[in-house]
Every structure is written in structure tokens, then in C-alpha cells.
Chain A
Amino acid sequence: MSTNPLEQLKTYRNLTSQRVSQISPSGIRRFFDLITSMDGVISLGVGEPDFVTPWHIREAAIYSLEKGYTMYTPNLGMPELRHELSRYLNDNYNLDYDPGGELLITVGVSEALDLAIRAILNPGDEVIMPDPCYVSYSPCVLLAGGAPIMVPTNQENNFEISATDIEGRVTDRTKAILIGYPANPTGAVMTRDKLAQIAEVARRNQILVISDEIYARLVYGVEHTCFATMPEMKETTILLGGFSKTYAMTGWRIGYAAATGEIIAAMTKIHQYTMLCASITGQVAAIEALKSGDSSISEMVEEYNKRRMVMVKGLNDIGLSCFEPKGAFYAFPSIKSTGMTSEKFAERLLIEEKVAVVPGSAFGQGGEGYVRCCYATSLADIEEALARMKRFVTKHQVA
């Protein structure tokens, strides 16, 4: 009989909750442990801009610290930030959100997503989402006691989720559709027509839509459509966005939710008891970002676009067929020609050629047979990575 108090406790009850236990840790973790122990690795793994936050934004934050802005902010976020955000959404999408109750500033979009799901879900409620999709979508639903319902998407359809496929999965427990376009991990962008079809399904079946638009500004040669601009959808859409990707502000952790007052009020309840408010320094930086206009964004997009072209052509040239991603900063090539699973491919590529990519299976079953390559890294690194991948693929090509 153990005398260790922890072991004793565990003979009576589970240490951790069932809800948490049912969630598997991120499949990518093992890789990253490996990467940090190796030298000379080119990482196409991390979904993060390789730019630092523009100086004028950092400067505004530093100045605020000098002036002593170190306190809590209102739960909803600083009034000036909500005001600027309201103006931004109006300028860009012609949407009217009341800064007094229809906007909530969160700790990154990640928190906003969690809040949105917890605010609307009852145990057993279903949320329909594309597969593959961002790693947190399904766990957030599970942690809220809901059930994620996956809709497979594929390369043939440019990884767009189809309205028909969604409707086929609607039950009387369906509470929401959760989409995120431009998409992580695929880089897919939905056309306005296809989004309109989804809006139609949502309206017909009385379900909410959560639209994660963190990559809204990173689109190439196409226009981003904000889901809340769909006819009659503003009231039933929870729009999520943030500053991380657009302004290279990942570490500041500032995101937001825009929705009807009742939903924002519900989300705010959770936010105020769990997070209280987002960091004031980050919020000050976000205000500066919104006030400064878009010139730094277009420069960044132009730079990503160059890399995107090199990445996509390079992957296709070495026989990893890759559809043209129109948004975000990911390419999602098929590795099926190698006969390996995506996890095997990623692991061996890392060990043999020191190139880190993320196995598509980390983003759901639908990602099996693909890997995610982030091109938010220098052109020189992209080209070197492609050269190494070519060597790898040639070596492992199945006849």
C-alpha cells in the first residue's frame, strides 16, 4: 500500500476530470520537443508571422508603460479600443457594432472562441465544423460539454466546406456552425457565394454561426468576405477577430468578439470571472494598430505573397501536389505520393532533412495525407527547405 498521498487519492478518485481526460494533447507537441533539441532545423511549423510588431505600435505601448498605464481595464476592454474597433468594422465591412455592448476585447481569438462556445452551448449541443480545421475548435467544444460534428473537406473542393454537407449533419441538437476562413491549416478562402449558401442553411435551421476571421487581412488576389455581412446574418453571427496575424502581434494576445448584445453579455460573464480583462499594454498597442491605418499591412501581404508563390510552385514542382491557398500563410500539400502517413512524413523529414512541417492529421482526420507548411519565414529558408524536401521526396517516392 502506497503512502504517497497523491497515489492514495488516486485509488479513490480520478485526479483529473473526464472532460479534460477525453481530450488528447496536441499531436504537434512531440515534434516541437524534437525540434528544440536539434540544430540547423528550418521550421515551416509555427503559424506565426516572422515580422516583429511594427515599431510605432511597440513605441505606443512603451510610452503607455512610461506613463503608468498598468491597471485593469473595463471587462469589455478599453472604451477607446472598442470605439476604434467599431469604426474599423464599419470602414471595412460596413457593419455597425455598438462599442458599448456588442464588442468584447479578449486575450487573443483563442479566448474569444472559448467564450463564444461556452456562452451558447448546453451539454450535448452540437457544433458543425470543417475537417481539417484549427486545432482548438474541437477541444473547445468538448470542454464546453458539446459535441463537435466534423464535415470533411478536401483538396478537390479547395478545402471549402459545403452548405449541403453541413445541412446533412444538422440535427435538433445543432447549435452552431463554426468556420474559420481564410483557413488554418489549409489556406483556403471561401467565396461570397459559398458563404451565402451556408448563411441560407443557418437561417433555415435556426442555428448560430461562429466565424473565426483572424486571417481576414491576409488574402492574395481575392477579397475577404466577412460572414456577418451576409444578408440577415449579423444578429446570429459571432464574429471573431484579432490583431496577432494582421499586425504581427501574436505575443500581445489581443483578440475580439463582435455579436449581438445578448451573446456579448453572456460571453462577458465568463470573461469577467475567468480573465477579468485583456492586458492593458496589449490593448494600448491595439489602439495604435487600428489608428495607424493599413500601409504596413499591405507591405506585409505583398511580402507573404512572394513567398506564397515560391512555396506553392516549389511544392508542386517536387511532386507534392498543392492547391493554391488564397489566404493565411499556409500551404497544405498532399504527401500521398510518398505512401507515408502525414505524421511519419513529418517525423522523417525532420530527422533526415531537418525541415519541420506539421502533419495534417493534427488538424483532424481530414488532414491525413497532407502536411502544413507555413511560409511566414524568409525566402532563403523557404528555398532551402524546398531543396531539402525535394531530396527527401525523391528518396522516398513510391514507384
Chain B
Amino acid sequence: MIKKILKILEDDARITTKQIATMTSLPSNEVARIIKQAEKDRTILKYKTMINWDKVGNEEVWALIEVKVSPQRNVGFDAIAERVYRFPQARTVYLLSGTYDLLVVVIGKTMHEVADFVSQKLAPIEGVQGTVTHFMLKRYKEDGEILEGKEEIKRQPVIL
């Protein structure tokens, strides 16, 4: 049942406990208890809103940075990953298989700011062999949502 509740919340964080109770046929206080618990044990990390900042002319610079690292004895990639994700500038940090190891998403106000972060903070970390920075040109789709040009499909009048 917790998965069902989490799925509902993942789709719409603003949904009320009462609404979830209706959808799942659980008493409201039980739903509230499950959610509280999930918040407490960090199953639910946070509630956020997806925003298309372009709409309000808020220009941000997004960069995806490939980081090649040499893993260290005993701690593997984790220690270096931690050195990276401690920086608040690193919004997302993944360990990947393939030609590089860490993928870091950095969002800055200007290209300069992102470049500074990479050259002065990220690249010098011990164990980092090299970085490749990709500046993002356009976001078409984010987390399942198409940002622009999504057409509203209207039902046709039909008698049935």
C-alpha cells in the first residue's frame, strides 16, 4: 500500500491526505501515518515543483559534466563522489558504467560561473583524471513533461 501512496504523491505532491485516503480506501489517519513515516526515514526526500523557468525569462546555464576518476582502494568511487556531491553546485551526481564514471549536473547563473566551478573545484579533486563539460542548449522534455509545444487534444463532439 505504501507504494501506491508514494506513486500518487510522486504524480502530484499537492494532493491531500484525504484525497489519498479516498483513492486507496484507507482511513485518513493511516495515510497520514504512512506518509509521516516515509518522510522520517527519507523514503520521501522532499516535495518540489517542476518549473519551466524560461517562461519567466529566468536564464540559467545547465551543464552536464562527465568526470573520469581513478577509484581508490577500499572506498572505490564513493569517496570521490562524496567530494563532488558535497558542493551545492552539483545538483545531481550519478555513477555510470561506460567511458566515464561520474555524471554531474551543474546549474549556474552564467557559463563563467559553471566554468569556474569545473576548473577550480571539480577538476582539482584528487583522483579526478579529467572532465568533459557539455553545456545544455535546450530542454525538450524533463522528467516526463514536454516543456513546449505540447498540444491540447480536444475531444470531438460525439453522440454515444
Contacts and interface: CB of A to CB of B under 8 A. Distances in A.
B158 A48 contact: yes
Nearest to A110: B160
Contacts of B23: 305-306, 309-310
Nearest to A377: B155
A332 B50 CA distance: 37
B110 interface: no
B159 interface: yes
Contacts of B156: 251
Interface residues of A, number: 22
Contact of B155 (A26, A29, A46): A46
A309 B129 CA distance: 55
B45 interface: no
A119 interface: no
A310 B22 contact: yes
A324 to B, nearest CB: 10
Given A46-B155, A52-B153, A306-B8, A135 B19 contact: no
Interface string B119-160: 000000000000000000000000000000000010111111
B25 interface: yes
Interface in A131-145: 135
A47 B160 contact: yes
Q: How large is the interface on B (under 10, 10 to 19, 20 to 34, 35 or more residues)?
A: 10 to 19
B19 A29 contact: no
B7 to A, nearest CB: 8
A300 interface: no
Nearest to A28: B159
Nearest to B153: A52
A36 interface: yes
Contact of B22 (A32, A135, A309): A309
A313 interface: yes
A178 B160 CA distance: 18
Contacts of A29: 159
Contact of A313 (B7, B8, B22): B22
Contacts of B160: 26, 28, 46-48, 135
B158 A46 contact: yes
Given A309-B22, A310-B23, A26 B158 contact: no
Given A28-B159, A309-B25, 5 more contacts: A36-B157, A46-B155, A46-B158, A52-B153, A309-B24
Interface of A: 26, 28-29, 32, 35-36, 43, 46-48, 50, 52, 135, 251, 302, 305-306, 309-310, 313-314, 379
21 contacts: A26-B160, A29-B159, A32-B157, A32-B159, A36-B157, A43-B155, A47-B160, A48-B158, A48-B160, A50-B155, A52-B153, A135-B160, A251-B156, A302-B7, A306-B23, A309-B23, A309-B25, A310-B19, A310-B22, A310-B23, A314-B22
User: Top 7 closest A-B pairs, CB basis?
Assistant: A306-B23, A309-B23, A26-B159, A313-B22, A29-B159, A309-B22, A310-B22
